Chain A
Amino acid sequence: MSTETLTDGDGQTTSRGLVDRVRASPFLSRLLSNRLALAGLAIIVAMVVIAIYARLTLDLDVISRSQLGTNPNRAAPNLEYPFGTDGQARDLVPRVAYGAWYAMLFGTVTVGASTVLGVGLGIVAAYYGDITDNVIMRTMDVLLAFPSLLLALALVSIFPDSLGLWRAVAALTLVYTPRFARVVRGAALTVLENEYIDATVALGAADPRVLVRHVLPNCLAPITVQSTLNFGLAIIDLAALSFLGFGASAGTPSWGLMLSNGVSQGLLTGVWWWSFFPGLFLALTVLGFNLLGDGMRDALDPRMREAVD
């Protein structure tokens, strides 16, 4: 019926152990048979490689500094400068590459911090139930009802200017936390409903032990899906805040800021490459995360994949 089951030929490969393990996990086997999700994964891996390469080999000072005098100003893409140069005569290739590092770094911090906060709140809400649960989760609901970019704009103004991109990270962490809290609470409740947890509690295990030992490992799958889906959104929102002037400080090679400068200073004078390449990399990265995240969600909840007829 479903197209996801692996074909017969797979069992005959030499690495039997791995195949068996993948087969034993319906989640992984479904995910790996989803070509779109794999394409997303490939994009992400490529971006991570670019990011790490840029971080290790490129000198941030050189990239940020104006290179008037050494490079041609606003040169169109050519063999020497494949992405062209910007209004300060800076080569766009290393800048765009370094932008990958910024996107990955700040995206990871944003998603990581909101995951930790969300997991904490979600598990506490599920474990203690009653008033604690109600107050935490309804607060999360209200936060969720706000449009994310507008809420982030409101929160950004609370933090001082001097934080630069970290200001945007802090605001977005608060915006994203409720999404994780909601998912984790749901997953934790299902785990807690299992009888063995009751037994553990009856045997006198302290609260934190029950939470960490039993609840957390069982929530890992939904947390991972949620993190992946939100990673793409976080990168877009971070860039959007930079684009609007609430993120990276001048000169920083972040995609959002390059786009902002490229659009305001270059687009109408025909210097399209200034904003085109940062935007292309941004869009590709986000697409990668969305493809993978979507595939993971389908793999986790195969109900949505049933055929109509």
Chain B
Amino acid sequence: MFPKRFVLKRLLLLVPVLIGVATLVFSILHLSPGDPALTIAGERASQEFVERIRADLGLNDPIWVQYIDFLGNVARFDFGESYVINRNTTVREVLSNTLPVTLELALYGQLFGILFGIPLGVLSAVKQDTITDHATRVGALAGISVPIFWSGPLLILLFAQVLGVFPTSGRISSSFSVSAIRVTGMVTIDTLIAGEWDMFRSAVRHMLLPSLVIGIYSMALISRMMRSSMLEVVRQDYMRTARAKGQGAKITILKHGFRNALIPVITIIGIQFGGLLGGAVLTETVFAIGGIGTLLVEAIEVGDYPIVQGTVLTFAFLFTLVNLVVDITYSYLDPRIQQ
């Protein structure tokens, strides 16, 4: 029953996606101003030193040779060493430290958004044009309108500063060391595996506000989408027929409409995952959580090209994988997709 060929085909498509993104990143970095050799050497370095770095990096080769080399490196997921941010550390290592941080944040945020967004959307549709509906819609609109870099500080202010119930920043209390129990790199999971309950509690308390901030936005989008999709389905003929047969309207909606209404929403969840990664960049900055998002911003600012290349390709890889998962879910709900 499991659509093996479908999944295989989709996994194979990762290859052109990654080559495409790699080519784009390569071209954009080449077209943008700034000399990598000068970035590494620093402004005051001697001309010879800059020249030597340039030769080391292969920047004297024609661009097409550099491009082929770069594609080869991408295939091995090897972007060399960081120029500025973490000197003498491979990009792979930097990424393996920061990626789980962002993943953890995005997963909890997405979970929050789905768990609350879908019921709210259904509720809003079922109670269309009542106070509940209006309140939900305005709430969702406000959720989209309030920027993460304002709601985050507000929550910090309220829960961390005034009430003092949650920590203001970071991932876990600084009195704990998580490096010893590192398995996945996600603190809430690692501490759970190790059975360190105090550390686990601390990690959860640290994760709560950031996940909430990122989740509110996701929830607002999902509930809006769910509402309109639900209304759309309800208006279709077979729903009218079902109602005419005398079943209670609300039960009909829940039983028949929900599954069909979910289909487009699931696609949107996949597409919107990219937006979630964008939100993670801002959330990490607000809560001083060193994830892949802040890494990307910093790398662009200081011109750390290997890090930029590594992060962007990781983002593309993640985005594609999430959409693959979404599509598999989707193909169960709507078997026509499998062909």
| Chain A residues in the interface with B (C-beta under 8 A) | 3, 36, 145-150, 153-154, 156-158, 160, 232, 236, 239-240, 243-246, 256, 259-260, 262-263, 267-268, 270, 272, 275-276, 279-280, 282-283, 286-287, 290-291, 294, 304, 306-309
Residues of chain A lying within 8 A (CB to CB) of residue B9: none
A270 to B153, CA, bound (A): 11
Which of B129, B168, B301 is close to A3, meaning CB atoms less than 8 Å apart? B129
B293 to chain A, nearest CB (A): 9
Is the CB–CB distance between A263 and B300 below 8 Å? no
- Give B residues with C-beta under 8 Å from A: 25, 28-29, 31-33, 125-126, 128-129, 134, 138, 141-142, 144-150, 152-154, 156-157, 161, 168-169, 228, 231, 234-235, 249, 253, 271, 274-275, 277-279, 281-282, 285-286, 296-297, 300-301, 312, 315, 319
* Contact, CB under 8 Å: A263 / B146: no
The prevalent SS among residues of A at the interface is helix
Beta-carbon contact of B275 and A282 below 8 Å: no
- Chain A proximity of B99: nearest CB distance (Å): 15
Task: Indicate the member of A232, A267, A272, A276 with the most B CB atoms within 10 Å.
Answer: A267
Taking CB atoms, residues of chain A closer than 8 Å to B234 are 308
Contacts of B274 in A (CB 8 A): 145-147, 150
The answer on a CB contact under 8 Å between B282 and A240 is yes
Contacts A/B (CB < 8 Å), 25 sampled: A146-B274, A149-B275, A150-B274, A150-B277, A150-B315, A153-B297, A156-B300, A158-B28, A236-B147, A243-B285, A244-B297, A256-B149, A259-B149, A260-B149, A267-B156, A267-B168, A276-B157, A283-B145, A283-B147, A286-B147, A287-B145, A290-B141, A307-B128, A308-B126, A309-B249
A36 to B142, alpha carbons, bound, how many Å? 12
Residues of A with C-beta under 8 A to B296: 153
Besides A272-B153, A272-B161, 18 other CB < 8 A contacts?
Answer: A147-B275, A153-B297, A154-B28, A158-B28, A245-B297, A259-B150, A263-B152, A263-B286, A268-B168, A268-B169, A275-B150, A275-B153, A276-B154, A287-B146, A304-B228, A304-B231, A306-B231, A308-B249
B168 to chain A: closest residue by CB: A268
Chain A residues with Cβ below 8 Å from B312 are: 154
CB pair A157–B147 under 8 Å, yes or no, is no
Contact A263 B145 (CB under 8 A): no
Tell me, rounded to whole Å, the shortest Cβ–Cβ distance linking B137 to chain A.
8
**Which single residue of chain A is at the shortest CB-CB distance from B235?**
A306
A308 with B125: in contact, given A153-B296, A243-B149 (CB under 8 Å)?
Answer: yes
Please name the 9 residue pairs, one residue from A and one from B, whose CB atoms are nearest each other, closest first.
Answer: A279-B150, A147-B274, A149-B278, A287-B145, A286-B145, A147-B278, A283-B146, A158-B32, A243-B149
Contact A244 B145 (CB under 8 A): no
**Residue in B32, B146, B319 whose CB lies within 8 Å of A157:** B32
**Residues of chain A contacted by B169 (CB below 8 angstroms):** 268
Cα-based distance from A276 to B126 in the complex (angstroms): 37
Q: Which residues of A contact B154 (CB under 8 A)?
A: 276, 279
Is B147 touching A287 in the complex (CB atoms < 8 A)?
Answer: no
In the complex, the answer to whether A239 meets B149 with C-beta atoms within 8 Å is yes
Q: How far is the CB of B248 from chain A (nearest CB, A)?
A: 11
Max chain A CB contacts within 10 Å: which of B32, B168, B296, B319?
Answer: B32
Given contacts A3-B129, A267-B153, A272-B157, contact A153 B147 (CB under 8 A): no
Chain B residues with Cβ below 8 Å from A36 are: 134, 138
CB distance from A140 to the nearest CB of B (A): 15
Give Cα A279 to B235, complex, Å. Answer: 40
Q: Which residues of A contact B33 (CB under 8 A)?
A: 160
* Contact of A290 with B28 at beta-carbon distance under 8 Å, contacts A157-B300, A240-B282, A309-B249 already known: no
Residues of A within 8 A of B279 (CB): 149
Contacts of A260 on B, CB cut-off 8 Å?
Answer: 149
Q: Which residue of A lies closest to B323 (CB)?
A: A145
B332 to chain A, nearest CB (A): 23
Which residues of A are found within 8 Å of B168, using beta-carbon distances? Answer: 267-268
Contacts of B275 in A (CB 8 A): 147-149
The residue on B at minimum CB distance from A287 is: B145
A265 to nearest B CB, angstroms?
Answer: 12
A296 to B126, CA, bound (A): 23
Residues of A within 8 A of B146 (CB): 283, 286-287
Q: How far is the CA of A135 from the CA of B34 in the complex (A)?
A: 32
Report yes or no: B301 in contact with A245, Cβ–Cβ below 8 A. yes
Q: Do A283 and B150 touch (CB < 8 A)?
A: yes
Provided the pairs A304-B231, A309-B249 are in contact, do residues A232 and B129 lie with their beta carbons within 8 angstroms? no
List chain B residues, Cβ under 8 A from A145.
271, 274
Q: A157-B300, A308-B126, A308-B253 are in contact. Are A282 and B150 (CB under 8 A)?
A: yes
Measured CA separation A236–B142 after assembly (Å) = 13
**B72 to nearest A CB, angstroms?**
23
- A240-B149 contact in complex given A154-B28, A158-B28, A307-B129, C-beta closer than 8 Å: yes
Q: In the complex the two chains form, what is the Cα distance from A101 to B286 in whole Å? A: 25
Q: Give, as a whole number of angstroms, the nearest-CB distance from A287 to chain B.
A: 4
* Neighbouring B residues of A291 by C-beta, 8 Å: 141
Name the residue in B141, B149, B231 with the highest tally of chain A Cβ atoms < 10 Å from its Cβ: B149
When the two chains form their complex, are residues B129 and A244 in contact, meaning their CB atoms are under 8 A apart?
no
Q: Whole-angstrom distance between the alpha carbons of A221 and B245 in the complex?
A: 41
- Chain B residues with CB below 8 A from A154, complex form: 25, 28, 312
Residue on B with the closest CB to A256?
B149
